[in-house]
Structure 1
Amino acid sequence: MQSQAAADAGIAAAHTGLFTTGNCAAQPTPGRYVGSTAPVYTATVEYDAGLGWAAGCPSATATRIRIVSTGTAQAAGVNGASSGNSSKVEAVFAYLTPGVDPSGIGMYLYGGGTVESNSTLDLSEANGAGLMIKNGNLDCAKNNTVINGSVLINGNLTFTGTCRVNGSAWVAGAAILGSGSVRDNLSAASVSPNPPGTRVGGTYTQGAALPVIPGWAEVGYTPTAWVDATGAPYEVRTVTTSAACNLPNGSLGGTVAGKPVIINALGCAGGPTASNNTTVKLTSDVVIFAQQFEFSAVNSLAFASATTAAHRIWFVTPDYVADGAPSCLRAPAVQNQGNFAVKNGFTIADPIIAMLYTPCAFAGFNGFNWRGQVYSGEYSSAKNNPTFTFVPVGVAGVDLDTGGSTTTITHPQPGSVVSRRDLAG
């Protein structure tokens, strides 16, 4: 039908135009694409930036676009028939912008982990489970640990202290509750005690299918994957002396004020270092690549903003083996990779948010305070009065929600199709 083909052509014209910076705004009526000769169509663009659909070209904060196209037949229907004279089609697309997109949950501990001794994990901003374990156990030991949010474990859940999950728990193996509790629902292959009684505030279900846990995301040292919101690449600064491996008790950021920087500290033997009572004041977003982050001998290390501006910091130990699983290349491997280890006071201070990615372990002890995300490969620990607050950060080049890779873009453009349908009229 001619009108249907014309409407489809309008969708295609607007969709193609939105790949070129400024094309939408350059139309005679911004946000409106018109074909005045066959195929004849009028296609209007709308965007959603979180407050519902708005007419016009997408804003910098848009996450979806909608194109509604009306096509007109070249020849009107015969004998007064008009049903095919015009057709209307709606297509909704994701809208992609340059920069690091937030993805993932609060804590993704591939190989399992332990939390204990007055640990407080606030994962409640995550949709679904805020703590996931792909292939291991969660051990909640000793005193008064509180997990605000839900947990998803492809292994066993063991409470050996007064641990509390203020959410639901999905467990592939056994749930040994001890003196702990799950506020909402529990799904597990088995539970002890059985029945769980008041230890489960909602419903206990035996052997139910677990939600999907994303696979391990492979993050290497790929500076070209890192671009800012304008599509400009991050500055890359390589550490070339042992003295430069020492983090400053003062400002750290891009050479151009406010512009993000990658610090390549992969050549620092034992990873970056810091003196006691160090406060690193960020002047921009900062990515630090290192084979390990060994701060366990440092007393009182903080990352704060140099002003009131919010910044992000990434601590990245690359996974060099692309096999869909974490590969921590410890000595005697030439990379000499190791854990991200903190002890005796480590703080990510508001408004800074931090993302840790490591194929090795996260070892947090003695009062660390973290705002952001932790993504670790080996069995990890959070012990002795730690506080963790989930804030989405993400990593360039990967989607932590799926475990897959993403394509780096340098200008805003339509993404995948969300929906497409014919409309009346």
Structure 2
Amino acid sequence: MMRSLRQGRLHDDETGNVMIAVIGLIAVTSIITLTISSATVQAVGYTSLTRAGVQSQAAAEAGAEAMRAALETDACPSDGDLDATYGDIDATITGAAAAQPFYSVEIEQRAGATAVWTPGCPTGSSTHVRIQSTGFALTEGVSESSSALDSAAVEVVYDWLPGAPSAAASGAAVFSYGSPGLSNNLELVQLNGNSANVMVREGSIQCSNSVTIEGDIVAANGNITLSNTCSAEGDVWASGTVALNNNQVIGGDVIAVGSGQSTFGPSVSVGGGVYLGGTINTWGQRCSSGATGWDAAGNACALARSSGADPVLYNQPDLPMPVVPDWVDVDFRASDWTDEGWNVVTYSGPCNIDRNGSQTAAVQAFSQYTTPTVIDVRGCTGGFTIWYSTYELELKTDLTFITPKTVNIGQFEVSSDDPNSERRLRFITPDTVPDARPTTSGCGQFDVNNTNTIAEPVAVLIYSPCTIRNSNRLTWRGHYYGGIVNFSNNSELTFVPIGIPGYNFDGGEPSGGGAGGGGGAGGLGELLEYRDLAAAGS
């Protein structure tokens, strides 16, 4: 009987010990489960946070650019407020428009450096303008912490030049409707805060061989491939995929919206984050913890380590699509220019102003104009050639050439008669079909070659629906707007936006007054300040 009782007590004690062990195991398991759950929730929140931040920042910057374009084309809203309502903010908008940024922009002006800012568009007495733009994410963050990045705000301050014509100083350093050629010692230089952006509406971008772009590289409907020290100080933004093959330095973000695989080679540096709609393939050291294989997570970890990008995200839905304006069809109507005070003449001289000096009179005639003049040379149906060699075009005023679809400029040197007076020179090959795409029927080529030099403070725009080809020691100030724009062999372009009066290359409708446009209360001067703000309610 004693033995049975003792055995019973031992059995009870063992049962108690087992229960304690089971309870302990349950507690440990619960802690692990809660830790994993918490980490998962935090990871989802972090992902939504960064996605919302990219979307809202892009929208804020788009709003600031939209208001700048409105100011430069005399289209500033009378109340000083500019809004674009898209995406989740307005459920009634669907289709392509729903993927565009939502922003709200306000503008203020003041008369004097110490005066109080007053809401509204600038007047004839204004000296400064301030743009404040708030952008909103299309897809808001899922965690409470992400609400801070559901909106972003920027502030931009410019000098205002009372009485100066606001003649559509819009556009990118290079706007190419189709795939451009960017190679062989090309440098695009920003000036006065104007980023030297490359924007492509339709087609992919391939860039190689010692190219430096002091701005963004944007492909609205294609992929971007950068090779052999082709670098950008701004963002690289493609609707498809991105390939940074080797030795690229990217100052901003890399955004590839497409669902395909983006690749990153060795010696790539990224100053911002990497945001991919698809997967990632790269080379780099394996991560010491977490994902260690060459799966997508391992590649992302390796890229973050080797490039300095932060964050590196892949398989991201709802990334913002790159924004590139549609092609602007620029026709020529003489009355639009004469109504705005331009003199319009029909050229009757030689169509081949060549290097041998036989056309001295034609060269000198261009330098004699003292009032803004449009020179219509479309009578040169076989093409128009300016090949100066030993002559220099000295501008005493603004000139605009209306050209046929074949033009050849070689050994072309242009300067201003007054180093303190800006001069604007435009070559316009009209696009007579208003269909928001370059009309290429009958196109030859706009050829710029053999040591062309544009001296400060002159700026030149070439507009052509045909191919614009630049080669051989180009030193240029201004910008290009073409069906296709190609560069090769030691080219330098300093971006000075002059646009075409009456047309808005940044998107939107032409300003009042047609192609002569401008006038108004004044124009934008130097960029004084660009900074991020805390968005209201964030």
Q: Aligned in 2, Cα 1:58/1:113: closer, same or farther, shift over 3 Å?
A: same
**Deviations for 1:8-44, whole angstroms, at most 9, x for unmatched residues?**
xxxxxxxxxxxxxxxxxxxxxxxxxxxxxxxxxxxxx
Deviations 1:228-249 (A, max 9, x none): xxx7420011012436867844
Identity %: 27
State the AA in 2 paired with 1:394. G
Does 1:294 pair with 2:407?
yes
Q: Say if 2:276 is the partner of 1:206.
A: yes
2:124 is matched with 59
Aligned pair in 2 of structure 1 residues 245, 223: CA closer, same or farther (>3 Å)? farther
**Residue number in structure 2 paired with 1:233:** 341
Q: Aligned residue for 2:455? A: 349
TM-score (norm 1): 0.68
What's 2:426 paired with?
A: 314
Counterpart of 1:145 (choices 191, 211, 228) is 211
Contact 2:351 2:380 in 1 (8 A): no
For 1:368, which of 468, 474, 498 is the aligned residue?
474
Deviations 1:228-276 (A, max 9, x none): xxx7420011012436867844462564x2x100000011133332234
Work out the CA distance in 2 between the residues paired with 1:329 and 1:61: 46
2: distance between equivalents of 1:410 and 1:387? 29
CA contact (8 A) 1:245 1:271 kept: no
Q: How many residues align?
A: 328
Match of 1:222 in 2: 333
- Change in CA separation of 1:60 and 1:145 when aligned onto 2, cut-off 3 Å: same
Q: Unaligned stretches of 5+ in structure 2?
A: 1-107, 131-159, 278-318, 524-538
In structure 2, what is the Cα distance between the partners aligned to 1:163 and 1:194? 13
Q: Is the 8 A contact 1:133 1:152 kept in 2?
A: yes
Q: What is the TM-score normalised by the length of structure 2?
A: 0.55
Match in the other structure for 1:107: 174
- CA-based RMSD: 3.4
Kindly tell me: are residues 344 and 50 of structure 1, through their superposed partners in 2, closer, same or farther at Cα, counting changes over 3 Å?
Answer: farther
The code of the aligned residue for 2:343 comes to: E
The SS at the match of 1:193 is strand
- Does structure 1 conserve the Cα–Cα contact (< 8 Å) formed by 2:168 and 2:502? no
1:125 Cα offset (Å): 5.2
Question: Distance between the aligned counterparts of 1:126 and 1:179, measured in 2?
Answer: 28
In the alignment, structure 1 segments of 5+ residues that lack a partner are 1-45, 66-93, 331-336, 416-425
Pick closer, same or farther for the CA change 1:170–1:47 going to 2, 3 Å. Answer: closer
Match in the other structure for 1:82: none
Report the Cα offset of residue 55 of structure 1. 10
Query: What secondary structure, in the 3-state scheme, does the structure 1 residue paired with 2:466 have?
Result: coil
Higher relative helix content: 2
Partner of 2:350: 242
Letter in 1 for 2:198: L
Structure 2 residue aligned with 1:252: 366
Q: Which residue does the alignment assign to 1:186?
A: 254
CA contact (8 A) 2:189 2:196 kept: no
Contact 1:353/1:393 (CA < 8 Å) preserved in 2? yes
Normalized per residue, the structure richer in strand is 1
> How far has the Cα of 1:49 moved from its partner?
6.6
The structure having more radius of gyration, on CA atoms, is 2
2: CA distance, partners of 1:135 / 1:52: 46
- The separation in 2 between residues aligned to 1:224 and 1:196, in whole angstroms, is 57
> CA 1:50–1:366 in structure 2 vs 1: closer, same or farther (change >3 Å)?
farther
Contact 2:473 2:491 in 1 (8 A): yes
Measure, in 2, the Cα distance between the counterparts of 1:60 and 1:265.
40
What is aligned with 1:28? none
Closer/same/farther in 2, CA of residues 174 and 356 from structure 1, 3 Å limit:
same
Deviation at 1:50, TM superposition (A): 8.6
- Aligned residue for 1:405, secondary structure, equals coil
CA displacement at 1:135 relative to structure 2: 0.5
Match of 1:324 in 2: 436
2:521 is the counterpart of 1:407: no
Question: 5 Å matches for 1:20-169?
Answer: 48=110, 51=113, 58-59=123-124, 98=165, 100-123=167-190, 130-141=197-208, 143-154=209-220, 155-169=222-236
Report the alpha carbon displacement of residue 129 of structure 1 after superposing the two structures with TM: 7.4
Counterpart Cα distance in 1 of 2:386 and 2:470: 16
Deviation at 1:342, TM superposition (A): 1.2
- Name the SS of the counterpart of 2:481 in structure 1: strand
Distance 2:522 2:269 in 1: 48
Query: Do residues 284 (structure 1) and 284 (structure 2) align?
Result: no
